[in-house]
Amino acid sequence: MALVAGMRVGSRVLFRPWAWLPGAALGRKESAARGRVGARGFGSQRVLVEPDPAAGIAVMKLKSPPVNSLSLELLTEFVISLEKLENDKTFRGIILTSDCPGVFSAGLDLMEMCGKNPAHYAEYWKAVQELWLRLYLSNLVLIAAINGACPAGGCLISLTCDYRVLADNPKYVIGLNETLLGIVAPFWFKDTLVNTIGHRTSERALQLGILFPPAEALQVGMVDKVVPEDQVQSTALSVMAQWLSIPDHARQLTKNMMRKATADRLVKQRDSDIQNFVGFISRDSIQKSLQVYLGKLRQKKG
Ligand SMILES: CCCCC/C=C\CCCC/C=C/C(=O)SCCNC(=O)CCNC(=O)[C@H](O)C(C)(C)COP(=O)(O)OP(=O)(O)OC[C@H]1O[C@@H](n2cnc3c(N)ncnc32)[C@H](O)[C@@H]1OP(=O)(O)O
């Protein structure tokens, strides 16, 4: 059975994020997801959406305490919220931020990658791929208002955005630190980073698993602006206004031209990428590394 949940319409592949949900009631979810968003705000347990239809934008806040780790549930709700906004012509841009104090997102949920069975790992990885593809190829303007620490998968999410504003706090580090956990960022994480900060800087950052504090993140181009914490949201809004001053069709075609080849690389090998992940993460040595890392995270408190 093909692992990719998508259908082709003309030259466009429409992904159905819920299609991989176990026992998903496709018709009901699909019709709900295609409804108009309106002005009232919507969301789910873990993703809060505050629409401003007059401005054509929505603020999307991740709220999966304590650290917005990307569990299967959060990934699912994230994709569904994104699709709702994508399908409503009212919206031209999203500001993506966190509702969890001090953390934008702790990245992939380590509990989803530890002590589970291969079918679970496959389902989880497919959801991670789905979110990345959705974000990376979004027609909307995506601005990340990074109001907290932003490691690994959290950083990846911010890198899919068109612009990143980071709060100036030394604790708010950002980067792909996978090697510090004894794991490896897959090629599409790497590609996303290279497309943002260039090859040589990525090579060093990825091998060393560097988590950049704000000034360095700005210097290497990992973020576009660093501002005082209380100005992150207002800065994101004014940057959004600038991006929305460009005609959508011209901006969208340009974005697609810049990003499609990178996304296609994963689209063409989604199944083998899932198999690679499952094989890699199931190794005893990798499971041990992750357990050690989780232990260190827990010890930090005590
Ligand atoms: C060659 C082929 C390759 C194929 C592909 C193969 C490999 C797979 C690649 C996978 C790519 C992985 C990407 C990732 O995103 S891995 C996750 C990396 N994330 C991190 O390293 C961040 C870890 N967390 C932290 O550093 C901190 O928690 C913090 C985000 C800076 C926040 O600090 P603080 O506010 O002090 O909170 P705590 O550390 O006290 O954490 C609170 C509780 O949350 C738990 N936690 C933290 N992060 C995670 C996580 N990512 N997943 C699950 N749980 C997490 C932490 O243990 C605490 O739990 P407790 O209250 O029960 O102790």
pLDDT of the chain, 302 residues: tens digit per residue: 233 333 333 333 333 333 333 323 333 334 344 456 666 677 899 999 999 999 999 999 999 999 999 999 999 999 999 999 999 999 999 999 999 999 999 999 999 999 999 999 999 999 999 999 999 999 999 999 999 999 999 999 999 999 999 999 999 999 999 999 999 999 999 999 999 999 999 999 999 999 999 999 999 999 999 999 999 999 999 999 999 999 999 999 999 999 999 999 999 999 999 999 999 999 999 999 999 999 999 998 76
Exposure string over 272-301, b if 16+ CB within 10 A, otherwise e:
ebbeebbeebeeeebeeebeebeeeeeeee
Minimum-distance ligand 1 atom for the alpha carbon of 181: 21
Say if CB 19 and CB 26 are below 8 A apart: yes
Helix or strand (DSSP H, E) at 154: helix 152-159
Overall size of the chain counted in residues: 302
**CA 146, 180, 67, 135 torsion: positive or negative?**
positive
Q: Encoding tokens for residue 127?
A: 């959801």
Cα-to-centroid distance, 258 and ligand 1 (Å): 31
| Catalytic-residue membership of 178 | yes
Residue 290 C-alpha to ligand 1 middle, in angstroms? 10
CB 150 within 8 A of CB 108: no
In the reported structure, the alpha carbon of residue 67 is separated from the centroid of ligand 1 by a whole-number distance in angstroms of 8
Yes or no: say if 175 and 210 are a contact pair by the CB < 8 Å rule.
Answer: yes
Q: Which residues contact 122 (CB under 8 A, 6 or more apart)?
A: 3, 274, 275, 277, 278
The two tokens of residue 59 are: 């603020």
Q: Which residues line ligand 1 (CB under 6 A)?
A: 66-67, 69, 102-103, 106-111, 149, 151-153, 177-178, 181, 183-186, 276-277, 280-281, 294, 297-298, 300-301
Strands 57-62 and 47-52: antiparallel
CA of 68 to the centre of ligand 1 (A): 9
Report the largest interatomic distance among the alpha carbons of the chain, rounded to a whole angstrom.
56
CA-based nearest residue to 162, from 92, 87, 62: 92
Q: Which residue lies with its CA nearest to atom 25 of ligand 1?
A: 106
Tokens of 23: 């026992």
Question: pTM of this prediction?
Answer: 0.90
Determine how β-strand 148-151 pairs with β-strand 102-103.
Answer: parallel
Helix (H, G, I), strand (E, B) or coil at 300: helix
Query: Domain 42-300 belongs to what architecture?
Result: Alpha-Beta Complex (3.90)
209 carries an active-site annotation? no
The ipTM, to two decimals, is: 0.98
Question: Atom 4 (ligand 1): residue with closest C-alpha?
Answer: 277
The predicted pLDDT at position 38 comes to 62
Contacts of 37 (CB under 8 A, 6+ apart): 49, 51, 53, 58, 84, 85, 88, 90, 91
The pLDDT assigned to 11 comes to 33
Q: Which helix (H) or strand (E) holds 66?
A: none
Phi, psi of 62 (to 5 degrees): -80, 130
